[in-house]
A and B are shown apart, each in its own frame.
Chain A
Amino acid sequence: MSSVSRHVLLVEDEPGAMMTVSLLLEMLGYRVTQAANGKRAIEALQGERPDIVVTDYMMPHMNGLELIAAMKAEADYATIPVILTSAALPFDIDARQVAAGFLSKPYRIDALTGLIESVLSKP
């Protein structure tokens, strides 16, 4: 499947990171919806279902792990794959157990797109 049809919900509280990652993904053919934290992501999910969610962990109001838990609790969103990104995670969290993919920040854009494609290619 070409990236042209991929719809990514990017959840990121840092405006600089949000803008640049969105821009690069769009230049690569992805369609991006932005949300500044977990709560805003839930609002966005109510509007349109993305193919994949890429979420930061450290965010105000609702962090990345809380977002994943909220999505799993909701049947409509439970099957949407989530990639978690963060410079640090709580010591007792194994990212592979809670998310479909994990990227340590800072990351290169090709690492993100590679992971998006890899996660979405899984049956």
Chain B
Amino acid sequence: MPKRVSTGIFGLDNILDGGLVPGAVYIVQGTPGAGKTILSNQFCFHRVTQGEKVLYVTLLAESHSRLMQHLSGMSFYDEARVPDSVFYVSGFDDLQTDGLQGILKLLNSETTRLQATTIVIDGLFVLEESVASEREFRQFINYLSNLANLLGSTILLLTNSRRGPTSPEFTMVDGWIEIGLMTLEYRSYRYLQVHKFRGSGFVLGRHMALITNDGMRVLPRLETVTGLAPNNGSDEPPLSTGVSELDSMLHGGLPHGSSTLALGPTGIGKTTLGLQFVGAATAEEPGLIFSFYETPKRICRKAAGLGLQLEEQIASGHVEVLWQSLTDTLLDDIGYRLLGAVRRRGVKRLFVDGIDAIEQSSIYPARLAPFLAALANALRDEGVTSMFTSEIPQLVGGEAEIAFGAVSAVAENIMLLRYVELESALRRVFSLVKVRESDFDSSIRELSITPQGLKLQPLPAPMEGLLTGHMHRQKPPGT
């Protein structure tokens, strides 16, 4: 594989199989406002941290001082590096005077003078407009490729031109990266797509991208870059659920590295179950609570009501609570945040409260199944035993409409929690529906939430009708 130049842009190197290739020319195409300037400057300042120097040539673009003013709010921008390591110049006079030859001469002299190995030309469309023929432009791109090769420089050409893939610049350069904006209903999304990349494979298709004060983050579709290798599971002993009766039903605990889906209506005790699971975290088995609905403070308060010392565990670093806003959240952003938090602390016990929120953040429902499969596989690769909650709409009564669909990827084990009407009282019941490759106790237990935590007791007498919500005593045989 050829040597790579890391872009320093989250996710982009994954898409490019390691980064850009030195001595190559790339087009970065995008409509105004798409993020070309941020992407290119982020790349430049990252290369500077690697000891390189950058020549940034503009042609009828925003003024350098205004550009620097806009960049000054970005965390990657380091004003101390300008102009010693990043040198902004205009090539307009050279273009006006000597045409494309003038630009080539300028690049040659300035890169030598500054010893720059990264070059950005902002305004390729200005060059296009200044040539008399396509042939002349093709020749220019050819010279540029040779120049990049001879200097060992990486050249980015920024353009907002809408010219297509058969135009000479696209056929002759080494790579073509498009940044765009798309609007679906009332929301707009920024995306990045690599159309061409010489020298290696790359991840095809559109990937969502975000611009924050930290610059651009590209979110490669999770299922294309992670959890790809087959995983045969773990031989390590099961993990305690934190509920002794449940561990007995599971003949020891949850299979190591497995995923569990806890299903039930609102208020039934799903979060309590998850809190007890993570509450069993230790320094050797760090825990993570990833919550969409309840803030860390509320979770801690809830845990305290169950006799769990969650605040102490957070303080000691055994547990972390991450709250994820549901506002304008992107599916892949959730995935990377979750996996990042898992990898950062070597999490072994994960509780995701609200898989429904993950489903809602998917723009394209068809992506949910492969996304969750990749997420589950990636978690398995990290040796994480995970528990997800999912809400059933019916509070009580009726057939439980449980359509697993995409979430079956995280449902190696299934726990069902329900309200039932039993002898003129509303009660909570619990049952195990499925456990990965293990025998388990399938009996229905009465669930109660006490100040000492969740309790699972045998029913007072043999009952049936859990799924209908109307439980009743089983009739004695022969009656």
Scan B37-68; emit 1 where CB is below 8 A from any A CB, else 0: 00000000000000000000110100111101
The distance in angstroms between the C-alpha atoms of A15 and B89, with both chains bound, is: 11
Q: Do A87 and B82 touch (CB < 8 A)?
A: yes
A61: B residues at CB distance < 8 A = 106, 109-110
Closest to A105 in B: B65
Q: Complex formed: what's the CA distance from A106 to B83 in Å?
A: 16
Minimum CB–CB distance for A41 against chain B, Å: 12
Contact of A14 among B64, B69, B87 (CB under 8 A): B64
Number of interface residues of B (CB under 8 A): 25
Instruction: Give per-residue flags for B68-88: 1 if the beta carbon is below 8 A from chain A beta carbons, else 0.
Output: 110000000001101110011
Residues of B within 8 A of A17 (CB): 63
Which A residues, 40 to 77, have Cβ-Cβ distances below 8 Å to chain B? Answer: 40, 57-61, 63
Query: Is A14's CB under 8 angstroms from B83's CB?
Result: no
> In the complex the two chains form, is A15's CB within 8 Å of B66's CB?
no
B89 near A60: Cβ-Cβ < 8 Å: yes
0 or 1 for each of A1-32: is its CB under 8 Å from B? (1 = yes): 00000000000011111000000000000000
A-B contact pairs, 28 of them (CB 8 A): A13-B89, A13-B90, A14-B58, A14-B63, A14-B92, A15-B93, A16-B60, A16-B63, A17-B63, A37-B93, A40-B93, A57-B83, A58-B83, A58-B88, A59-B90, A60-B90, A60-B91, A60-B106, A61-B109, A61-B110, A86-B83, A87-B65, A88-B83, A90-B84, A105-B64, A106-B65, A106-B66, A106-B69
Given A13-B89, A15-B90, A15-B92, A91 and B80 touching (CB < 8 A)?
yes
B356 CB to nearest chain A CB (Å): 49
**Chain A min CB distance to B352 (Å):** 46
Q: Which residue on chain A has the smallest CB distance to residue B59?
A: A15
Q: How far apart are the CA atoms of A91 and B83 in the complex, in Å?
A: 8
Report A's interface with B, CB cutoff 8 A. 13-17, 36-37, 40, 57-61, 63, 86-91, 105-106
In Å, the complex CA distance between A37 and B105 comes to: 15
**Minimal Cβ-Cβ distance residue in A for B109:** A61
**A87, B93: Cβ atoms under 8 Å?**
no
Q: Does B359 count as interface, using CB distance less than 8 angstroms? A: no
Q: How far is the CA of A39 from the CA of B92 in the complex (A)?
A: 15
Residue on A nearest B68 in the bound complex, by CB:
A87
Sorted from nearest, which 6 A-B pairs have the closest CB atoms? A36-B93, A105-B65, A88-B82, A87-B65, A13-B90, A106-B65
Q: How far is the CA of A40 from the CA of B106 in the complex (A)?
A: 14
B285 at interface by CB-CB < 8 Å: no
Say yes or no: B94 contacts A60, CB within 8 Å: yes
Q: Select one of A15, A63, A87, A90 contacting B60, CB under 8 A.
A: A15
Q: Which residues of A contact B92 (CB under 8 A)?
A: 13-15, 36
Does A89 lie within 8 Å of B90, measured CB to CB? no
Chain B residues whose CB sits within 8 angstroms of the CB of A36 once the complex forms: 90, 92-93
Question: How distant is the Cα of A87 from the Cα of B81 in the complex, in angstroms?
Answer: 12
- A37→B90 CA distance, assembly (Å): 10
Apart from the given pairs A14-B58, A14-B63, A88-B82, 5 other A-B contacts in the complex at a CB distance below 8 Å = A13-B93, A57-B83, A60-B109, A61-B110, A88-B68
**Judging by beta carbons under 8 Å apart, are A87 and B64 in contact?**
yes
Docked CA distance A88–B394 (Å)? 64
Q: Which of B69, B79, B92 has the most A CB atoms < 10 Å from its CB?
A: B92
Assembled-state Cα–Cα distance A106/B88 (Å): 14
CB-CB nearest in chain A for B72: A87
Chain B residues near A59 (CB-CB < 8 A): 89-90
Contacts of B69 in A (CB 8 A): 87, 106
Separation of A48 and B261 alpha carbons in the complex (Å): 83
Q: How far is the CB of B78 from chain A (nearest CB, A)?
A: 11
Q: Which residues of B contact A106 (CB under 8 A)?
A: 63, 65-66, 69
Q: Which residues of A contact B60 (CB under 8 A)?
A: 15-16
**Are A91's CB and B84's CB within 8 A?**
yes
Q: Could you say which residues of chain B place their CB within 8 Å of the CB of A16?
A: 60, 63
Q: Which of B79, B89, B92 has the most CB of A within 10 A?
A: B89
A13 CB contacts on chain B under 8 angstroms: 89-90, 92-93
> How many whole Å from B216's CB to the nearest CB in chain A?
22
A2 CB to nearest B CB, Å: 30
Among A37, A60, A90, which residue has its beta carbon within 8 angstroms of that of B83? A90
Closest to A90 in B: B84
Nearest chain B CB to A1's CB is how many angstroms away? 30
- Among A86, A87, A105, the one with the most B-chain Cβ atoms within 10 Å of its Cβ is A87
> A73: shortest Cβ distance to chain B, in Å?
19
Residues from chain A with a CB closer than 8 A to the CB of B109 are 60-61
Name B97's closest neighbour in chain A (CB-CB). A36
Residues of B within 8 A of A91 (CB): 80, 84
Nearest chain A CB to B398 CB, angstrom units: 67
Q: How far is the CB of A39 from chain B (nearest CB, A)?
A: 10
Residue of B nearest to A65 (CB): B83
- For the complex formed, measure the closest distance between the CB of B64 and the CB atoms of chain A, giving whole angstroms: 6
**What does the 1/0 interface line of B132-171 toward A look like (CB < 8 Å)?**
0000000000000000000000000000000000000000
Of all chain B residues, which has the CB nearest A57?
A: B83
Shortest beta-carbon distance from B377 to chain A in Å: 48
By a CB distance below 8 angstroms, the chain A residues around B68 are: 87-88
Instruction: Tell me whether A14 and B90 are in contact (CB under 8 A).
Output: yes
Instruction: Determine if A58 and B64 form an interchain contact, defined as CB atoms under 8 angstroms apart.
Output: yes
Q: List A contacts of B83 (CB < 8 A).
A: 57-58, 63, 86, 88-90
Nearest A residue to B106 by beta-carbon distance? A60
In the assembled complex, the CB of B147 is this many whole angstroms from the nearest CB of chain A, namely 15
